[in-house]
Amino acid sequence: MMINSLRKIHYSWVVLAAVCGLALANSVASLNVLTVFFLPMSDEFLWNRTQISGAASLGALLGAGVAVMTGRILDQTGPRVILAIGALITTISMIALSQISAIMAFYIFYGAARVSDQGFIQAVSPSTIAKWFDRNSGMAVSVLFAVTALGGVLLPLISQASIAEFGWRFGWMVLAVIMFLVGVIPTILFVRSPKDLDENDGDGVELENFTIPEFSLSEVLHTKEYWFLTATVFVTGIATAGIGLHIVPYLVGQGLDPEEAVATVSVRFIASAIGGLIGGILADRYTPRLLILVAISVRVFSIALLIFADTFLKAVFSGALGGISDGIQSTVLVLLLVSYFGKNNVGGIYGVNRAAAVLGFSAGPMIAGIGFDITGNYNYIFYGFLLLTILSIGLVFSTNRTYPGVR
C-alpha cells in the first residue's frame, strides 16, 4: 500500500504536501486569475464589470453557507472526501468555462468553482493541517499559505500566456488540467484524517493533537472575541476581494500597460508567500494577535499607496506591502483561533469564521464593480476600503484570550 511505503516519513508531512498541491492548483478559481480573463471576455461578449463581478460574488456568497457545513463535517469525518469533491467540481467547472457563450453559463460554472474554492477547499485546508500538527503547526500552516500564494503568482502568468497565444478558451482548459493533475490526484491518493491513520497504523500520528478541546463550538459562539475576529475577516475580506478582482483594470486605467498590471498581481502573491512564511515563524515567538495587528496596519498603508499609484514602481510597492499583509494575516488567523479556543473543534470554528470572510469576498467585487459603473472610476470605492481596513484594527485590538464559561 502506498501509505505503508511512506511509513518512515511522518505522515503529517505527506498530508501537508498533498494539501499544498491542492492549494496551489486551487488558485485557478481565485480572483487574481479571473482578473486576467476580465478584459478579453468582456471585450468578446460586451459584459460589463458588474456582470462579471457578480458571478464571483454569487459563488463566494454560496460558498459561505457551504463553509459552515464543511467545517463541521471535517471535525466529524475528516478532510479527504470534502477536498476531493471540491477539486473535482473545480476541474469540471474550468472545462465548462472554456465552452461558454452566455452570461448565465458563466454564472453557473464560475459560481460553482468559487463555491468549491471558498466552501470546500479554503474552508477545510488550514484546519486539516492544524489538526495534523502540534509542535510545528506554525511552520506547517505558513508553508500551506506560502504555496497558496505561489499559485497566485504562477497561475495568472500561465493564464496570461495561454490567452495571449491561444485565446481565453484555451486558458480555461489549461487551468482544468492543472487542477486535475496537481489537485485531484494527490488529494485522493494521500489526504487522510489523523484519526484514520491512528486507527490503522497507530504510530503515524502525533497523539497530543487529540486532547480535550478548551471550547465547544457553542461556547465559542458566545464570546465577543470570536465575533470581533469574525467581523475583522468580513471587513478585510470586502477590501481584499474588491481590490483583488479590479486591480488589473484599475492599474490599466492609471496608465500602466496590461502586462505591468498583471506583473503587479504576481508581485503581490510573491510577497504573500514570503509574508506567510514570516508569519508562521514569528507566531512561535510573538502572539498571533500582535502579528495580525501589524499585518492589518501594513495593509492600510498598502491601500493608501495604491490609491495614488500611477507608476509601475508605486504599484509594485503597494502590491508587495499588501501581499506581505495578506500572507501574515492568512497564516496567523487559524493559529489565533487555535490559541484562543482549542484545536479539536477548529474545523467548525474556522468554518464559521471563513464563512464571514467569504461574505466579505462576495460583497467586495460587487461594491467595486457597481461603484465603477456609476462613477466611472474606483477612487471613492478604494477610499471606502481604506476606512474599513482601519476599522478592523480596532476590532482586533479589542480581543483578548478568554476561557470556557467566561463571557
For residue 232, the domain's CATH number is 1.20.1250.20
**What per-residue confidence (pLDDT) applies to 402?**
64
Q: What is the pLDDT of residues 277-303, one digit of tens each?
A: 888 888 877 888 999 999 999 999 999
**What per-residue confidence (pLDDT) applies to 287?**
86
Domain count, the chain: 1
CA distances from 91 to 23, 36, 86, 145, 173 (A): 13, 18, 9, 21, 9
**What per-residue confidence (pLDDT) applies to 377?**
84
**What per-residue confidence (pLDDT) applies to 339?**
82
What backbone torsions phi and psi does residue 214 show, to the nearest 5 degrees?
-75, -35
Report if residue 5 sits inside a domain.
no
Amino acid making up residue 76: Q
DSSP state of 222: T
**What per-residue confidence (pLDDT) applies to 48?**
79
Q: Are 401 and 214 in contact (CB under 8 A)?
A: no
Contacts of 76 (CB under 8 A, 6+ apart): none
What backbone torsions phi and psi does residue 376 show, to the nearest 5 degrees?
85, 5
CA distances from 190 to 8, 148, 156, 183, 236 (A): 15, 18, 27, 11, 34
**What per-residue confidence (pLDDT) applies to 228?**
93
Q: What is the pLDDT of residues 85-132, one digit of tens each?
A: 999 999 999 999 999 989 999 999 999 999 999 889 988 998 888 888
Contacts of 316 (CB under 8 A, 6+ apart): 263, 264, 267
**What per-residue confidence (pLDDT) applies to 234?**
93
CA distances from 231 to 40, 70, 356 (A): 35, 20, 7
Whole-number Å distance between alpha carbons of 149 and 153: 6
Which residues in the chain show pLDDT less than 70? 1-9, 196-214, 402-407
Whole-number Å distance between alpha carbons of 151 and 168: 19
Q: Are 371 and 381 in contact (CB under 8 A)?
A: yes
**What per-residue confidence (pLDDT) applies to 197?**
65
Contacts of 71 (CB under 8 A, 6+ apart): 123, 124, 127, 347, 348, 349, 350, 351, 352, 354
Report if residue 56 sits inside a domain.
yes
Q: Are 140 and 353 in contact (CB under 8 A)?
A: no
DSSP state of 343: S
Whole-number Å distance between alpha carbons of 156 and 245: 12
Global pTM value = 0.74
CA distances from 38 to 95, 182, 247 (A): 18, 25, 11
Report if residue 382 sits inside a domain.
yes
Biggest CA–CA distance in the chain, Å, is 62
**What per-residue confidence (pLDDT) applies to 139?**
82
Report if residue 319 sits inside a domain.
yes
Report if residue 405 sits inside a domain.
no
Amino acid making up residue 303: I
Report if residue 2 sits inside a domain.
no
Measured CA angle at 257 (ends 255, 261), to 5 deg: 95
Report if residue 393 sits inside a domain.
yes
**How big is the chain, counted in residues?**
407
**What per-residue confidence (pLDDT) applies to 331?**
84
Boundaries of domain holding 30: 10-195+215-397
Alpha helices in 78-202 (DSSP H): 80-97, 103-115, 122-132, 137-166, 168-178, 185-190, 194-200
**Separation of CA 6 from chain center:** 29
Report if residue 147 sits inside a domain.
yes
